[in-house]
Amino acid sequence: MKAIYIMALLASILIGSWAIQTKGDIKKMEWVLGKWERQTSKGVVYEHWTKLSEFQLDAKNYMVRDGKTTVLETIQLISNTEGVFFIPTVGNQNNAQPVKFTLNKLSDIRFEFVNEQHDFPQYITYHKVGSDSLVAEISGTINGKKQRRQFKMKKSR
């Protein structure tokens, strides 16, 4: 009986320390919350991040052109017992199915997720440049050649 009590206590300590750690990971990424925008030749693209819980941030990436709004991508940034994940769903890619990227690097101003099995990108990075700007980047290899695309965004008012 004592062994069962000790096992239960150890399990609750491990789960509690996991919750504290992953909450901390998500908290470090909260600088991305809010509405961001970038001008393109096709219209204004917005990325709007909201906090759903201590363990989940969600975003919607959409374009406004000629008064018409088109959703380009939805994103879930979640933390669970398996880890911390960036999960984008893009309507015209991967049969509109979500793709899971795993947290690879994290600092107060930068986070990077990786999925080396994905065709492209294999890496997704967000870098806070200032209080009102960030750079999102997708990178990886296509047909043996390294590729990188950057998306510079400003905080939307």
What is the torsion angle, in degrees rounded to the nearest 10, for the CA atoms of residue 141, residue 78, residue 26 and residue 107? -10
Q: What is the pLDDT of residues 52-102, one digit of tens each?
A: 999 999 999 999 999 999 999 999 999 999 999 999 999 888 889 999 999
DSSP 1-66: -HHHHHHHHHHHHHHHHHHHHHHHHHHHHGGG-EEEEEEETTEEEEEEEEEEETTEEEEEEEEEET
Q: What is the pLDDT of residue 137?
A: 98
DSSP 63-99: EEETTEEEEEEEEEEEEETTEEEEEEEETTSGGG---
Q: What is the pLDDT of residues 96-148, one digit of tens each?
A: 999 999 999 999 999 999 999 999 999 999 999 999 999 999 999 999 999 99
This prediction's pTM: 0.84
Which residue type does 87 have?
Answer: I
Give dist(CA 99, CA 92) in Å, integer.
13
What's the full length of the chain, in residues?
157
Burial class, 18, CB count within 10 angstroms (exposed 0-12 / middle 13-18 / buried 19+): middle
